Amino acid sequence: MSEGLHRIERRIERRSRKSIFHALLAVSHRKGAKAVALIDGDGRELTYRDIVRASFALSGPLARVTHSGEKVGVMLPTGAGAIIALMSAFAAGRTPAMFNFTSGARNLKAAARAAEVRKVVTARKFIEMAKLEQLVEELNGAVEFMYLEDMKVALGALDKARAVLGPLAPRFFSASPDPDSTGIILFTSGTEGDPKGVALSHANILSNIYQIAEHVEILPSDIFFNPLPTFHCYGLTAGSLWPILNGYKVVFHPSPLQTKIIPQRIFETGATVLFATDTFLQQYMRASDDGGMSSLRIAVCGAERVKDETRQAAEKRFGFEVLEGYGVTEAAPVLAANQPGDIRAGTVGRMLPCVKWRLEPVEGLSGGQRLHVKGPNIMQGYITPDAPGVIRPLKDGWHDTGDIVAFDDGGYMSIRGRMKRFAKIGGEMVSLSVVENCATAVWPDNMHAAAILPDDRKGEQIVLVTDKKSPDRSLLLGWAQNHGVPELAVPKKIVSVAEVPVLGTGKLDYISIQRLAADGVGLTDERKRERDARLSGIDSKLEARKAPQTGNGESSEGAKRAAE
């Protein structure tokens, strides 16, 4: 390992040895309490002083109705309220659990049961504007809601004194948890079953923030724009905490679905760095006037593959680069990312500093291997509804991502697909990502998703679900033949729907897509049960493993050995 990399790792280690709230206090001191930290969805500017004082003040009402170390749900849109609720919980010595209000009552009850959450912080204004009254009613009994409006009314003289004196003597007026204690609980998206709790320590989150800062060069003048939800790790760590805890101004927008409003706000605020997914970025560019998003320098996209068409449109129409990153909730979440001026199409860039990795072969699959990762940003473990509150630690600190990847000679990583997103047809493994990429190349203005269904002859079959009206399969077949794509990757059946389901995180909703595919091809009830069984786990044959290959991203030689 080079001396330069040693210095970076030591710097990340040193900076992450504090709580998230004390990291906020540190940047407020360094940047200046009067510096603007964020611009909220209504255009209101909040300084670091505003956030710190509000956090100290609200920690009082929160502490009076909860006990030390209690898990407290946070169900708020991206904005100042969510950040202050988080920081208030940290200041009071509570552990926030981020609730995905788009996932439905069933998933939220499972999340509350797993994390032992009994109280949830939200806001009446948000519930009303988002029309979530029915959700709140369904959750009543499982959890008790605390409203920010009521908490403000409940502020007493001591709380107001804490707001003033807290920044002057933070160690006296706020909790000082061990950096390795649980800081935040997030939940997997539930695209493939019930959500699991992911326990991330303060050090996990801060390590990832400082890993990103060392990896991606940011200009002092950059202004961030984040419309992604804070219940998703990408929107929380990268989109919210990364800029705030590194001293950069961030513009928040409460929903990524407001595709016409977001380009206008980017223009009005002069934002230079946008967080998005490929799906959302395409929608924003289509809704924007030419030049409307030209203040952007880069757009950072994760959660799904960035299409060549997206990158070309961004460069041609608006003159900004699209950086593709890769991460998982269990890694807080970022593991790899392209860098400005160093984008290799088809890759997600190099691994972040301090991330170690190893690859394991998969029987019947060539061109990629299964990725395992280890590092200071990797979670403490899972929490599941069948063992409430119990963190199941990782074996030797290694996390199995379930993703199939490959490295080139320069250490740039390509994602071949998720293990659960490979079909086994006639003994050969076919990536659903390849199927979707082919459909995108043929019909670039539409959304497409591939699903796996049982097949009497070949074990499994691939069905394409698309919002393309009257799709012609022969066009897909012709494109595949002309570009060297195996005919097995061309679905025999295509189901046209009015809209391809998307989760609130911007990811495709594969459970709903599976059902649309089954209904579209007229699957029998027995076959539907087989399909549902597949959704709950990976076929045991796909789990066959051989001796692992390892690496740590320290040199191109290590990457080359792993790729081989």
Q: What percent of the chain has pLDDT over 90?
A: 62
Average pLDDT over residues 339-354: 90
- Whether 369 and 406 have beta carbons less than 8 Å apart is answered as yes
Average pLDDT over residues 177-200: 84
pLDDT at 21 over 80: yes
pLDDT digits (tens, 9 = 90+) for 87-96: 999 999 999 9
330: number of CA atoms within 13 Å, CB side?
22
Q: Choose between 54 and 341: higher pLDDT.
A: 54
pLDDT at 511 over 80: no
pLDDT digits (tens, 9 = 90+) for 348-388: 999 999 999 999 987 767 778 899 999 999 999 999 888 99
pLDDT at 59 over 70: yes
Q: Cα(329)–Cα(79) distance, rounded to whole angstroms?
A: 20
The pLDDT-based confidence of 419 (bands split at 50, 70, 90) is low
pLDDT of residue 548: 45
For 366-387, give the DSSP string: -S-EEEEEESTTS-SEEE-TTS
Give the lowest-confidence range in 366-370, 388-392, 552-556.
552-556
Q: Choose between 117 and 369: higher pLDDT.
A: 117
Q: Choose between 298 and 507: higher pLDDT.
A: 298
- Whether 301 and 307 have beta carbons less than 8 Å apart is answered as no
Q: What percent of the chain has pLDDT over 70?
A: 87
- Residue 230 dihedral angles phi and psi, to the nearest 5°: -80, -5
Per CATH, domain 426-523 is 2.40.50.100: no
Q: Cα(480)–Cα(288) distance, rounded to whole angstroms?
A: 33
Q: Cα(59)–Cα(6) distance, rounded to whole angstroms?
A: 38
Query: How high does pLDDT run on average in the chain?
Result: 87
- Whether 467 and 435 have beta carbons less than 8 Å apart is answered as no
pLDDT at 149 over 90: yes
- Residue 310 dihedral angles phi and psi, to the nearest 5°: -65, -50
pLDDT digits (tens, 9 = 90+) for 206-215: 999 999 999 9
pLDDT of residue 139: 96
pLDDT of residue 418: 67
pLDDT of residue 441: 86
pLDDT of residue 515: 85
pLDDT of residue 427: 55
pLDDT of residue 532: 55
The pLDDT-based confidence of 300 (bands split at 50, 70, 90) is very high
Average pLDDT over residues 10-22: 95
The pLDDT-based confidence of 564 (bands split at 50, 70, 90) is very low
The pLDDT-based confidence of 420 (bands split at 50, 70, 90) is low
pLDDT of residue 424: 62
pLDDT at 86 over 60: yes
What are the residue ranges of CATH 3.30.300.30 in the chain? Answer: 426-523
Give the lowest-confidence range in 399-403, 441-445, 454-458.
454-458
Greatest alpha-carbon pair distance for the chain in Å reads: 74
- Whether 196 and 330 have beta carbons less than 8 Å apart is answered as no
Alpha helix stretches (DSSP H) within 17-156 = 20-31, 48-64, 80-92, 105-115, 124-129, 133-139, 148-153
Looking up tokens 């990502």 gives 433
Q: Cα(85)–Cα(59) distance, rounded to whole angstroms?
A: 9
Q: What CA dihedral angle connects 302, 303, 309 and 315, to 10 degrees?
A: -20
Which among 83-92, 312-321, 504-513 has the top mean pLDDT?
83-92
Q: Choose between 154 and 564: higher pLDDT.
A: 154
Class for the domain spanning 3-407: alpha beta
Give the lowest-confidence range in 120-129, 321-330, 479-488.
479-488
> Do strands 448-455 and 321-327 pair parallel, antiparallel, or not at all (unpaired)?
unpaired
The pLDDT-based confidence of 58 (bands split at 50, 70, 90) is very high
pLDDT of residue 102: 87
pLDDT at 398 over 70: yes
- Identify any residues that bridge with 321 across adjacent strands, giving them in sequence order: 298
- Is the peptide bond preceding residue 333 cis, with omega within 30 degrees of 0? yes
pLDDT of residue 4: 78
The token duo for 446 is 């539409």
In the chain, % helix, strand, coil (3-state, to 5) comes to 40, 25, 35
Q: What CA dihedral angle connects 34, 35, 40 and 44, to 10 degrees?
A: 50
Residue 214: partners with Cβ closer than 8 Å, 6 or more residues away = 8, 11, 12, 352, 353
pLDDT of residue 537: 44
In angstroms, how far is CA 561 from the centroid of its own chain? Answer: 30
pLDDT digits (tens, 9 = 90+) for 220-263: 999 999 999 999 999 999 999 999 999 999 999 999 989 999 99
Cβ burial, residue 228 (10 Å; 0-12/13-18/19+): buried
Distances 160 to 80, 93, 122 between C-alpha atoms, Å = 19, 18, 21
> Do strands 71-74 and 95-98 pair parallel, antiparallel, or not at all (unpaired)?
parallel
pLDDT of residue 547: 40
- Identify any residues that bridge with 400 across adjacent strands, giving them in sequence order: 372
What are the residue ranges of CATH 3.40.50.12780 in the chain? Answer: 3-407
Average pLDDT over residues 177-201: 85
pLDDT of residue 50: 97
pLDDT at 34 over 70: yes
The token duo for 150 is 């009521």
